[in-house]
Structure 1
Amino acid sequence: MAPTYDPNDSGLLLVFSDPGADATLDEFHDWYDNEHVPLRTKAFDTFTSAARYQVASSVASSTTAAPSPVFSAGWGALYTISTAATFDDPKYTSLRTQRSPREAELLARVATLDRRIYRCVYDSAAPQPRDTSASGAPAPVRTAPLPAAEASPCVVCTSVTPADGCKAEYDTWYVEEHAPLLAKVPGWRRSRRYELVDALIVGKQARPANADGAEVPFCLALNEWDSPAFQETAEFKHLMNTEWRNKVNDPSRIVRRERRVMELYRAWECEAAVAATKQ
């Protein structure tokens, strides 16, 4: 069944990828940096941030299946989208259905292309931040385009699927305890929370029929930092070992989990979005 996108939702396009053994890193970067990203940032004013990251460390676990190698992809890309209506826009969907010959040939060789689309339920950078995971309403967000120079040097992506009956307390813990403690850690920049709308994983390492996409966790947290050094602070070590955190993150309460620490590779100016603000 096709996913449903609410135009009132702010979205996130999160893509993990890996060229694998059949494509060189140079050709992969050249395509990504000079064709793939600019086609989006120059043409769509709904793309308000765009950055690529290298995955420094990753961990994945599941109680339903052994983690696939696709979940160890070495590169990530983050695009903030002002409205989820973009994902239904024929101009946008044609980027996939009418790929350039170069892109089509390269993607037939890459090991992993893991595309995930989310709706935002919390943004600490909003004028009046409010978590809407319980209500399902659109969350208030930062709307201004993010200059490339302000892209965070380090981003941690943590994804979980809570077990049946456990999501409500997980969300409450994140809102009432975890997010406030994160904001007190030296080097913290921003926190956002998302819920999965659609996932598609293809590539030479991917299982057929999007079997890997079905394993993508539902809840995503993006926490942005000045550097990976935050992990060594007393404040961070404290928040990772509270009684409430240990309860809601117990393996009996989490079906699937992923955690990636990523370091900035390159960020782009979102030219169309910037131009739209000047009209």
Structure 2
Amino acid sequence: MPAGFLIVYSEPGEFVTLDEFQDWYNNEHVPLRMNHLKSFLTGARYSAVDSQIPSWTALYDIDDTATFSHDSYTRLRANRSPREANLVQRLSILDRQTSELLVDSGESQLTTSLASNNPSKGLITHGLGNDEEKAREWFESTVKDLRNSEGWVRTRVFKCIDNLKTGVSIAPGPEAQVVPKYFAVHEFTTVEATSSPKISSTALLSDVRKWGLYKAYPGIAQGNLRNFVLDCTHTL
């Protein structure tokens, strides 16, 4: 099975306060995955720095795409807590996309990507259309240019294998569920480095977004949960 990837765009909206949204994400939603599932290799959340909506995105590296159909993962959504079920119904946007890795420029010594130790501070995400060959060609040419961009860390292209948009602001009907089949995630050492990268501008690109790191989470797969708990206790 190919490596899996989960990206979720979200917007609290008028019926969920930011404090409630953050408390749910940080203390219930993410820990249920990162603290218990070794299949969730990394997990990080970013906030928009481009003043666009949705304002938040969460990204997770998954061991392989088989995880998406495994009971250890699917039961988390099937058996939501009353609190989570209620909050999800009130969110303005929850756009969940499961995917598989298509191509990867490779890990860098500059950051640990989405892992909690020295994570990438800035991201650019965007769609790449529905043609795999064109997406691969775009990747090859763009990565050559990005290698000369200061602060660039990594670029990956993913193939969306399933998606679902829900929320009080999502229009009914199949049109609202359409997303690009292929999308890219670019990582940078700083948010400032996202301002002028050498990304090839073609008709393939859509929904270009820029993000700054909010938090990268420790996890059982990273083997750093105990140290994280001790660090939190020490700071209290």
Same fold (TM over 0.5): yes
Give deviations 1:4-27, integer Å, cap 9, x for gaps: xxxx11011000001100110000
For the pair 1:154 / 2:122, whether they are aligned, the reply is yes
Q: How much has 1:160 moved relative to structure 2? A: 2.4
CA distance in 2, matches of 1:224, 1:74: 18
Of 60, 72, 81, 1:91 maps to 72
> 1:16: which partner in 2?
9
TM-score by length of 2: 0.85
Secondary structure of 1:21's aligned partner: coil
Measure, in 1, the Cα distance between the counterparts of 2:126 and 2:165: 18
CA deviations 1:26-60 (Å, max 9, x no partner) are 0010000000000000111111110111011277x
Matched, 1:208 2:172: yes
Separation in 1, partners of 2:188, 2:113: 19
Residues 187-236 of structure 1: per-residue CA shift (max 9 Å, x gap): 011111111111100010112245422x2111111110122322555xx3
Is 1:112 the equivalent of 2:93?
Answer: yes
1:140-187 C-alpha deviation (Å, 9 max, x unpaired):
xxxx9964122111011111215xxx6524421321x21121121010
Describe the shift of the 1:35–1:210 C-alpha distance in structure 2 as closer, same or farther (beyond 3 A): farther
Instruction: Tell me the equivalent position of 2:212.
Output: 263
Q: Secondary structure at the match of 2:68?
A: helix
Whole-Å separation in 2 of the counterparts to 1:203 and 1:94? 21
Letter in 1 for 2:157: R
Provide the residue aligned with 1:172 in structure 2: 137
Aligned positions, number:
221
SS of residue matched to 1:266 = strand
Bigger radius of gyration: 1
Q: Residue 26 of structure 1 is aligned with which of 14, 19, 23?
A: 19
- Establish whether residue 198 from structure 1 lines up as the match of residue 147 from structure 2: no
Contact 1:13 1:117 in 2 (8 A): yes
Distance in 2 between residues matched to 1:147 and 1:126, nearest whole Å: 11
**Which SS does the other structure have where 2:50 is aligned?**
strand
Which runs of structure 2 are paired with 1:47-58 in the superposition (5 Å)?
A: 47-57=40-50
- Kindly indicate whether the alpha-carbon contact (under 8 Å) linking 1:44 and 1:273 is maintained by their aligned counterparts in 2: no
Alpha-carbon offset, residue 109 of structure 1: 0.8
Q: TM-score, normalised by structure 1?
A: 0.73
**Cα 1:167–1:146 shift into 2, 3 Å:** closer
Give 3-state SS (helix, strand or coil) of 1:212's partner: helix
Residue identity over aligned pairs, in percent, reads: 33
Partners of 2:214 and 2:20 in 1: CA distance: 16
Higher mean C-alpha displacement, 30-39 vs 153-162? 153-162
Residue identity in the other structure for 1:264: L
What is the alpha-carbon distance in structure 1 between the residues aligned to residue 182 and residue 51 of structure 2? 17
- Return 5+ residue gaps in structure 1 as ranges: 1-7, 60-71, 128-143
Aligned partners of 1:189 and 1:123: how far apart in 2? 11
Change (3 A) 1:145 1:272: farther
| CA separation of 1:31 and 1:173: change in aligned 2, threshold 3 A | closer
Amino acid at match of 1:261: K
2:223 maps to 1:223:
no
Distance between the aligned counterparts of 2:120 and 2:174, measured in 1? 31
Distance 2:193 2:20 in 1: 34
Distance 1:90 1:168 in 2: 34
